[in-house]
Amino acid sequence: MDPIWEYRWEFFEDGYWGGMKQTSFWMTDIEAARWHAFGKPQTRRLDETKRDRNTVKIDYNATSTGFHQMREK
């Protein structure tokens, strides 16, 4: 399976609670292109957070049911 590279992003948010922030989630470049902060002057991809979506271990304990039938035993 080909790797699907995803990254966290850093962006500047205006307003009272504004300032430089980082996303707490990963996005591919294609997903980020639809994101509200994409293309703004201080938005940048954090290349040091690069990961392959196909190989990430998912924490199913954080799901609403806490169980997934495909989970590794």
| 72 in any annotated domain | no
Q: Which amino acid is at 24?
A: S
Quick: pLDDT tens for 19-73. Answer: 999 999 999 999 999 999 999 999 999 999 999 988 876 555 555 554 545 555 4
| Residue 37 included in any domain | yes
pLDDT score at 62: 52
For the chain, what is the domain count? 1
73 assigned to some structural domain: no
DSSP classification of residue 59: -
Residue 47 within any structural domain of the chain: yes
Is residue 69 included in any domain, yes or no? no
Say what the pLDDT of residue 54 is.
Answer: 86
Q: The domain containing residue 49 runs over which residues?
A: 5-62
pTM: 0.70
> What does the alpha-carbon distance between residue 63 and residue 66 come to, in Å, rounded to a whole number?
5
Domain membership flag for residue 67: no
Q: Given this model, what pLDDT does residue 70 score?
A: 53
Contact 12, 20 (CB under 8 A): yes
Decide if 68 is inside a domain.
no
Q: Which of 23, 48, 46 is nearest to 36 (CA)?
A: 23
Q: What is the pLDDT of residue 71?
A: 52
